[in-house]
């Protein structure tokens, strides 16, 4: 084997080793989720569950489904609200060139630097007056504030690459700005829509700060609070805790796998080529 071949194999081996190290916590979470309670404190621990059990997953189905349903509703609501607000804003910044657009872009960047806990306390004071505490719509609006600034910047970058000739052709056919956006710009920005939807869903699905501040103790709590409460109440049932974590990770993982080619296409080809 020549020197370049050895170097390639060496890099591959290092890459596999680092990947294994990073993924080991995920493997251990799966391992523990199938491990019986009486085998938890074995020394050394079993690298594979010798006596696998589904007791933890049965507990998840019995106790955690309402939390998962709330997280799904909040995630989908956040996606819809984020796309509905950020797509027109990105189109306006990219193609309509409003006065003060540069300042607005700077403010969007600055908004992403505000700590989440500060925004959560502001929402708490507002929701207390409006009666939106411990409500799903209130949590959707709060989670959208994390996604909208990022989404507007993504849409602006994507839509800036759409040829102006296409918009001029639509205008010559009698389409106004709204019709042009709906019939020309938005279909060509499919990859941007998928990218924004993916990140909006992942942010809302994994949110803990807003959930703990705005809906803690209510009837509709997301899975992040479900895991948090479950650890506090059942800190000895580690197989059930890890099973809950596995089930909570599945929707985000499936969506990420299904959407990754659209995200990659959008990043590499922009909003025009597909």
183 lies in a domain? yes
Does 248 share its domain with 153?
yes
Does 81 share its domain with 24?
no
Instruction: Reply yes or no on whether the pLDDT at 88 is more than 50.
Output: yes
Domain that holds residue 117: 64-271
Instruction: Reply yes or no on whether the pLDDT at 232 is more than 70.
Output: no
Does 167 share its domain with 47?
no
- Asked if 142 and 114 count as a contact pair (C-beta separation under 8 A), the reply is no
Does 109 share its domain with 160?
yes
Quick one: angle between helices 65-91 and 55-63, nearest 10?
A: 70
Residue 208, preceding peptide bond in cis (omega within 30° of 0): no
Does 171 share its domain with 245?
yes
How many independent structural domains does the chain possess? 2
Does 30 share its domain with 138?
no
Instruction: Reply yes or no on whether the pLDDT at 178 is more than 90.
Output: no
Instruction: Reply yes or no on whether the pLDDT at 158 is more than 70.
Output: yes
The residue with greater pLDDT, 87 or 175, is 87
Instruction: Reply yes or no on whether the pLDDT at 216 is more than 50.
Output: yes
Quick one: angle between helices 223-233 and 238-269, nearest 10?
A: 160
Does 47 share its domain with 69?
no
Rounded Cα distance between 37 and 89, Å, is 53
Encode pLDDT of 45-62 as tens digits: 778 877 888 888 988 888
pTM of the model: 0.83
82 lies in a domain? yes
- Three-state SS string over the chain comes to CCHHHHHHHHHHHHHHHHHHHHHHHHHHHHHHHCCCHHHCCCCCCCCCCCCCCCHHHHHHHHHCHHHHHHHHHHHHHHHHHHHHHHHHHHHHHHHHCCCCHHHHHHHHHHHCCCCHHHHHHHHHHHHHHHCCCCCHHHHHHHHHHHHHHHHHHHHHHHHHCCCHHHHHHHHHCCCCHHHHHHHHHHHHCHHHHHHHHHHHHHHHHHCCHHHHHHCCCCCCCCHHHHHHHHHHHCCCCHHHHHHHHHHHHHHHHHHHHHHHHHHHHHHHHCCCCC
Instruction: Reply yes or no on whether the pLDDT at 171 is more than 70.
Output: yes
59 lies in a domain? no
Mean pLDDT to the nearest integer, 78-96: 92
Does 187 share its domain with 209?
yes
Does 6 share its domain with 122?
no
The tokens for 68 are 């998962």
Task: State the Cα angle at 161 between 152 and 147, rounded to 5°.
Answer: 15
57 lies in a domain? no
Mean pLDDT check: name the lowest of 25-29, 67-71, 145-149, 234-238: 234-238
Does 139 share its domain with 266?
yes
Instruction: Reply yes or no on whether the pLDDT at 272 is more than 50.
Output: no
Mean pLDDT to the nearest integer, 111-130: 89
Does 47 share its domain with 137?
no
Mean pLDDT check: name the lowest of 92-96, 139-143, 195-199: 92-96
User: Looking at residue 207, what is its pLDDT?
Assistant: 92
Does 85 share its domain with 30?
no
CATH number of the domain within which 154 lies = 1.10.3720.10
164 lies in a domain? yes
């Amino acid at each position: 084997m020549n020197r370049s071949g050895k170097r390639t194999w060496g890099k591959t081996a290092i890459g596999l080793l680092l990947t294994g190290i990073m993924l080991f916590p995920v493997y251990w979470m799966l391992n523990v989720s199938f491990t019986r309670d009486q085998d938890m404190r074995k020394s050394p621990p079993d690298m594979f569950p010798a006596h696998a059990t589904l007791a933890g997953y049965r507990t998840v189905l019995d106790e955690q489904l309402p939390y998962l349903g709330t997280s799904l509703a909040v995630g989908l609501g956040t996606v819809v609200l984020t796309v509905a607000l950020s797509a027109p804003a990105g189109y306006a910044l990219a193609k309509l060139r409003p006065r003060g657009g540069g300042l607005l872009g700077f403010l969007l960047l600055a908004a992403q630097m505000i700590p989440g806990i500060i925004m959560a306390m502001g929402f708490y004071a507002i929701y207390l007056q409006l009666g939106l505490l411990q409500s799903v719509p209130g949590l959707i609006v709060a989670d959208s504030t994390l996604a909208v600034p990022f989404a507007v910047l993504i849409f602006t970058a994507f839509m800036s690459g759409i040829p102006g000739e296409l918009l001029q052709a639509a205008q010559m056919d009698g389409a106004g700005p709204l019709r042009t956006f709906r019939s020309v710009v938005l279909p060509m920005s499919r990859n941007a829509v998928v990218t924004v939807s993916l990140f909006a869903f992942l942010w809302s699905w994994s949110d803990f700060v807003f959930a703990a501040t705005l809906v803690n103790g209510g009837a509709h709590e997301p899975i992040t609070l479900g895991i948090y409460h479950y650890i506090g109440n059942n800190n000895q049932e580690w197989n059930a805790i890890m099973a809950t974590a596995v089930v909570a990770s599945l929707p985000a993982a499936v969506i990420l796998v299904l959407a990754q080619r659209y995200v990659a296409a959008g990043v590499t080809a922009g909003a025009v080529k597909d």
